[in-house]
Amino acid sequence: MRITAIETCIAGNPWKNWLFARVSTDEGLYGIGEGTVNYFARTVETAIHELKHLILGMDPFQIEMLSQRLIRDVYTEGGQVHMCAVAAIEIACWDIIGKATGQPVHRLIGGRCHEKLRAYANGWYRGPRTPESFHEKAKAVVRRGYTALKFDPFGDNWRTLPRYEFDLSLDIIRAVRDSVGNSVDILIEGHCRFNPSTAIEFACAMADTRPMWFEEPVVHTSIPAMVEVARRSPVPIATGESLSNKQQFADLLRSDSVHILQPEPLNLGGLFATRKIADMVDAHYGMIAPHSAQGPVCSAACAQLNASLPNFLIHEIFDEFNEPWEKEIVVNPVEVVDGYIEVSERPGLGIDLNIEEILKHPYQQENAIPLFRKGWERRHYK
């Protein structure tokens, strides 16, 4: 079997353009992948087409050699943009392998470790940044059956929190805890906003609400800063979504201070690289909660990956809180039932793209999450 073509398309989701790839073979089988990254959909799409000549004619089963040609042989550090392009192709190849063997991907990368996957809701708090709004919306999420939910209460703040903003953010967290009770986990998203002193102060202030984690409170590019916060925070720190190679994870794990890691398969070049990192984390007694806040192909890929990980913790779900047409652009999308995902046993990723529906939602340059623009949580960006 040989790779004969790689095609791309973009679905213009208002909060992030979703980039998909389709890899075709000479035996008529094809696979689908995703390379979404905030703000850079067209850039990653171009990168896919610039790279594809390196692997046309190769066997899609040669995952390691495909990745080496697309990463090592390029001899350029392209960060997330480069790795998302590679991931779109690599994930599509796993889909092909699954179809060729008649097996779901999770059986090909270790086998099923979990009958179903506990999920946490994200993207549910669209609306005004008030304790009242968060309180009511959190109730609605729990009514859907979720036992965990994540949110960013911090508005457009950066580096520091003025006293009013500090107190408002804390009030929002307390309102959500009051809304959902003590049996539901709350996860606090930091979006790399703060300097270490602010992050530590806020972690201490919210500790009595018992969050499951405080995610990326400081910028991911400073591993020493993340380590300092993790060592001094009474709330567990989660991070890793923005890292783009295993060497960065090795540097972070060396401190033995962060034990919830969130590798993003798209930022790492695909599923095989992420699977290797999960083993590295396991060696440090850590748990894995892969970042999965992209499109529906990434959701399906993460579900297959997570099913194979003994140290899997919880699965991120944006899908139910996206635009209603999301489920129309894929066949057999990931479904959440009473807060859990039933892992597909269909061959490959278990889903397919509906190109006709995707074309109804074209790319828009303004489709992105402006996390440092006032009112971003309302998702009224235009």
pLDDT confidence of residue 137: 98
3-state secondary structure 318-365: CHHHCCHHHHHCEECCCCEECCEEECCCCCECCCEECHHHHCCCCCCC
Q: Label residue 21 left, alpha or beta by phi (over 0 means left) and psi (-120 to 50 means alpha).
A: beta
> What does the alpha-carbon distance between residue 131 and residue 168 come to, in Å, rounded to a whole number?
8
Work out the percent of the chain whose per-residue pLDDT is above 90. Answer: 97
Q: What 8-state DSSP symbol labels residue 121?
A: E
Range(s) for CATH 3.30.390.10 in the chain?
3-103
Q: 107-350 is classed in which CATH architecture?
A: Alpha-Beta Barrel (3.20)
Third-level CATH fold of 3-103: Enolase-like; domain 1 (3.30.390)
**Predicted confidence (pLDDT) per residue in 233-259, tens digit:** 999 999 999 999 999 999 999 999 999
> In the predicted model, what is the mean pLDDT of the chain?
97
**Predicted confidence (pLDDT) per residue in 113-171, tens digit:** 999 999 999 999 999 999 999 999 999 999 999 999 999 999 999 999 999 999 999 99
Range(s) for CATH 3.20.20.120 in the chain?
107-350
Q: Please name the helix (run of DSSP H) or strand (run of DSSP E) that holds residue 299, with its range, or none.
A: helix 296-307
Tokens 């040669």, residue?
A: 62
pLDDT band for 380, please (50, 70, 90 cuts).
low
Model pTM score = 0.97
**Predicted confidence (pLDDT) per residue in 285-334, tens digit:** 999 999 999 999 999 999 999 999 999 999 999 999 999 999 999 999 99
Closest by CA to 9, choosing from 22, 25, 24, 20, is 20
pLDDT confidence of residue 358: 98
